[in-house]
Chains A and B, each alone.
Chain A
Amino acid sequence: MDMRVKKKLGIKERYTVMTRDLGWETTFQPMDDVFPYDKFEGIKIHDWDKWEDPFRLTMDAYWKYQAEKERKLYAIIDAFNQNNGHLGVTDARYINTLKLFLTGVSPLEYMAHRGFAHTGRQMRGVGPRVACQMQSLDEIRHIQTQIHSISNYNKYYNGFHDFTHMHSRLWYLSVPRSFFDDAITAGPFEYMVAIGFAFEYVLTNLLFVPFVSGAAYNGDMAATTFGFSAQSDEARHMTLGLECIKFMLEQDPDNLPIVQRWIDKWTWRGIRVLMLVGTMMDYMLPKRVMSWKEAWEIYFEQNGGALFNDLARYGIKVPKCAEQAGIDKEHITHQTWAALYQYGAATDFHTWIPNPEELDWLSAKYPNTFDKYYRPRLEHWAEEAKKGNRFYTKTLPQLCQVCQVPMFFTEPDDPTKISYRESDFKEEKYHFCSDPCKEIFDHEPEKYVQAWLPTHQVFQGNCFTEEADPAAPGFDPLAELLKYYHFNNGRDNMDFEGSEDQKNFAAWRNESVKN
């Protein structure tokens, strides 16, 4: 009997067989029952086969590429750890950026994993489903690699011990957390615009490039490597987000106003989260890469400008909030650091006043605003700290109902005035930090009335441990709050000056270079 040798599949056939051919029209159940979530948002899709998959990646090739990346990554992480690479970073203040990243950003990777798994399940087109599945796997890979590379720091430094617990409780982490909760509770198309487009395409470079180059500049090979490993996936993610936008816009003209509103909303939501990254760049990296303002100009104004020019043919306009963000770029990092500094008893990382050369760097990078508005308060605090009167606010701040950031942003036309906005909804008053946040609320108030605002939750008594007794004499709400946060009070929080991290790093580094 002759052997029948099957011809190997060509790349194109292989792609068809392993992606598009995996889907079918259901017959036992109507397609609308099998995919109940991909119509209610009002997005009209007439032909799912028009979805272009720019990468044409099949699952078997995907595993192969990812496995290769993992091998390289873990080899470098191992070498870094075995050689006590943590002692080679510029200065122990740098390590605080990793604490902020691990507690604030890494859990978002996990949420992105869940979000893309859900979205992939809900899209009836096979093309986006396969792409979402891969992105979902990428995202869980990202949080895993981040945990693995940062875990080495947990052996030596404070504040790394309970990031998942903290992510859903700490006051400033409610900013990134609520951002993703908002996205993941939207419909699948809005989620794709929120995360796939606004975050991954418009804003991701503002997160990854400064963070990864910041790690490299400051001698952290482990974080640099997980950053690069993730960044190579990001290219695919960006393309998926953009493809989704184009697909929606090409399918039906009625989709345009819906998509535009989502772009407006999510660009703004993303900018509010990224102020934490900007603050890291301007204040937390001992060796700075570039200022937040410069990064904004390159990655948003120039690159984003080119993107929106490209989308103009579909009728998409630059998000309305871009104008305000262009004014805010001179202010938000100074305002954010000032807030973190004064609430530094309740941050899971250390805060400090920049040294004189660093203050001069800020003056040079922010010639229009820093000396006039921000240097005086920092210098005043530095003088007070020298006298043993370091500034710690114990009174809780008012928060924005939408972005959940303390109301520290100023009026676009007057940096000496806090920007107060409010709306009444069903006899209840709500407050916002800005016009864009107020517009987001006014469009969907029922969604945001449920916001878990840390300040209000503390007042309601929901942020204490079970053993706490607010009626007991001498009850200290801040100390009890920190217990609920799982802080080692006095070790994880407060000023960098005098911290255990500072002392240990100095002692160990000294040991590594002397007898």
Chain B
Amino acid sequence: MAVVAIEKYEFSPADSQEKFNGNQVLYIGWEDHLMFCAPFAFAFPPTMIFKEILDKVIPDAFGYHPETSKIDWSQAEWFKSGKSWKPDVNKSLVENGLKHKDVLRFKTPGLKGIKGSCS
């Protein structure tokens, strides 16, 4: 639906990719670990290799959780916009088909948060 307005109502989006200084936004949430209250937001170069997310980004952003060190990436399941998805960890974000403001979730079987509470 269009906005009901007094005259023509068209504005460019505030968050289009060209405004992010060459980066693209990617959101990442860890299923069953709601101690991190919301999915995190990142601005990454599109050419960044996906593996860097596993090696650096996640240990840094999610490192406070006692289960972070127990993550077995060979078992992890990924979801993009809620649908099952598989990254090629040696390829870049763009080569993995990730677009600006995509949302990823990862699930780590066997890890259920603080005292199994999904925290």
Show the binding face of A for B, using Cβ within 8 Å: 36-37, 40-42, 187, 335, 338-339, 342, 372-374, 376-377, 380-381, 384, 389, 391, 393, 395-399, 406-408, 410, 416-418, 420, 422, 426, 428-431, 442-444, 446-447, 449-453, 455-456, 459-461
For the complex, give the distance between the alpha carbons of A389 and B99 in Å. Answer: 36
30 intermolecular pairs with C-beta atoms under 8 Å apart: A36-B6, A41-B4, A187-B4, A342-B37, A373-B34, A373-B118, A376-B114, A376-B117, A377-B34, A377-B114, A377-B119, A381-B35, A395-B40, A395-B42, A396-B40, A396-B41, A407-B38, A416-B32, A417-B31, A420-B105, A428-B13, A428-B100, A429-B100, A446-B10, A446-B11, A450-B13, A453-B15, A456-B15, A459-B43, A460-B21
For the complex, give the distance between the alpha carbons of A422 and B83 in Å. Answer: 13
Tell me the residues in window 26-79 of chain B with beta carbons closer than 8 Å to chain A beta carbons. 27, 29, 31-32, 34-43, 60-61, 64
Contact across chains for B114 and A407 when beta carbons are under 8 A apart? no
Most buried by A among B2, B5, B102: B5
B76-89 toward A: CB 8 Å interface, digit per residue (1/0)? 00000110000000
Contact across chains for A373 and B5 when beta carbons are under 8 A apart? no
A459 contact from B4, B23, B40, B99, Cβ within 8 A: B23
For the complex, give the distance between the alpha carbons of A380 and B103 in Å. Answer: 28
For the complex, give the distance between the alpha carbons of A416 and B27 in Å. Answer: 19
Contact across chains for B103 and A422 when beta carbons are under 8 A apart? yes
> If the complex has contacts A373-B118, A395-B61, A451-B14, are A460 and B20 also in contact, measured as CB distance less than 8 A?
yes
Contact across chains for A406 and B99 when beta carbons are under 8 A apart? no
Question: B residues within 8 A CB of A430?
Answer: 101
Please count how many residues in chain B sit with their CB below 8 Å of the partner chain's CB atoms.
Answer: 50
Contact across chains for B11 and A422 when beta carbons are under 8 A apart? no
Show the binding face of B for A, using Cβ within 8 Å: 1-6, 9-16, 19-21, 23, 25, 27, 29, 31-32, 34-43, 60-61, 64, 81-82, 99-103, 105, 113-115, 117-119
Question: B residues within 8 A CB of A444?
Answer: 1-3
Give B9's nearest chain A residue, CB to CB.
A446
A416 contact from B5, B34, B100, Cβ within 8 A: B34
For the complex, give the distance between the alpha carbons of A403 and B64 in Å. Answer: 28
Question: A residues within 8 A CB of B10?
Answer: 446
> If the complex has contacts A40-B4, A446-B11, A449-B11, are A418 and B20 also in contact, measured as CB distance less than 8 A?
no
Most buried by B among A335, A393, A451: A393
A398 contact from B34, B40, B100, Cβ within 8 A: B40
Contact across chains for B37 and A408 when beta carbons are under 8 A apart? yes
Question: B residues within 8 A CB of A40?
Answer: 4-6
Contact across chains for B25 and A456 when beta carbons are under 8 A apart? yes
B37 contact from A187, A376, A406, Cβ within 8 A: A406
Question: B residues within 8 A CB of A455?
Answer: 41
Contact across chains for A428 and B4 when beta carbons are under 8 A apart? no
For the complex, give the distance between the alpha carbons of A357 and B72 in Å. Answer: 39
Chain B nearest CB: distance from A343 CB in Å? 8
Give B28's nearest chain A residue, CB to CB.
A398
Give A418's nearest chain B residue, CB to CB.
B29
Question: B residues within 8 A CB of A422?
Answer: 81, 103
If A393-B61, A408-B37, A456-B14 are given as contacts, then 18 extra A-B residue pairs at C-beta distance below 8 Å, sorted by A number, are: A40-B4, A41-B4, A335-B37, A376-B115, A377-B34, A377-B114, A395-B61, A397-B41, A398-B38, A416-B34, A428-B15, A443-B1, A446-B10, A449-B12, A449-B13, A459-B23, A460-B19, A460-B20
